Amino acid sequence: MLDLVTLVAGAGLPALVLVVWFYRMDRARPEPLGLVGKSVLLGFLSAVPAVAIEMVVDLPAGALPGILGIAWTSFVTAAMVEEGVKLFFLKRFALRHPAFDELMDGIVYAVCVSLGFAFAENLLYGLGDRSVLVLRAFTAVPMHAFASGAMGYWLGAARRERDPGRSRRLTLRGLRQAVLIHGMYDFFLFTGSALALLSLAVLAGAGLYVRRLVRQARAADDAVAASLDG
């Protein structure tokens, strides 16, 4: 029983800390806690179809030589499939909710979905080796939040667009950015060489980028709120 509690706590606590952190960034007009919790749950459940799809999508990687196989696994199998599944759940459930009405909301809900996914992924890794959860708490878990957070910003921008074509382009822009961040992080890590240290540079750069997007989103949302109040 203690082993199970340790596993769940070690897998879930890093995700919970980041969910609270991003939620507090939206404290001016916070999202309903119920929808936040539902988004985390959807992210957790999204790991099931993601793993199933990855098993099929990764088959060509074995036939590709060296670096090409690593690139396929990193950018296509892991990044494209996982961020694509997260985007599907975001559009299918969170995006349609009336509470999703600001740029910052896109970041919050995307981060919640991504951290639910990271929680499920942590459980799988933790079953094999509990110690890996400590490292993942400071690397893979925030990577999921930063990659999907960037996607959420552009999804929030797409939500405001009346032009369907421009809305789709903004959504795809967000997906591309999420795949790039996620894929680059995994690519350097999967080389199993000194290049793996570059994954930390990707993580740091992504964190700074999302921080800038948060500032932009909050400023834009505050401006809209002020104009409505006036």
E strand or H helix at 146 = helix 140-160
Cα distances from 109 to residues 34, 42, 65, in angstroms, run: 12, 10, 38
Place of tokens 């985007």: 87
> Per-residue pLDDT averaged across 183-203, rounded?
96
Q: What separation in angstroms does the CA of 42 have from each of 56, 73, 170? A: 22, 24, 23
Per-residue pLDDT reduced to its tens digit, 142-181: 999 999 999 999 999 999 888 999 999 999 999 999 999 9
- Per residue in 38-53, pLDDT (tens digit) is 999 999 999 999 999 9
Spatial separation of the C-alpha atoms in residues 127 and 112, rounded to whole Å: 23
Q: Name the amino acid, one letter, at 227.
A: S
Domain boundaries, the chain: 2-229
Q: What is the pLDDT of residues 6-17, one digit of tens each?
A: 888 888 999 999
CA distances for 220 relative to 101, 153, 155, angstroms: 12, 12, 15
* 59 pLDDT above the threshold of 80: yes
**Phi, psi for residue 170 in degrees, rounded to 5:** -65, -40
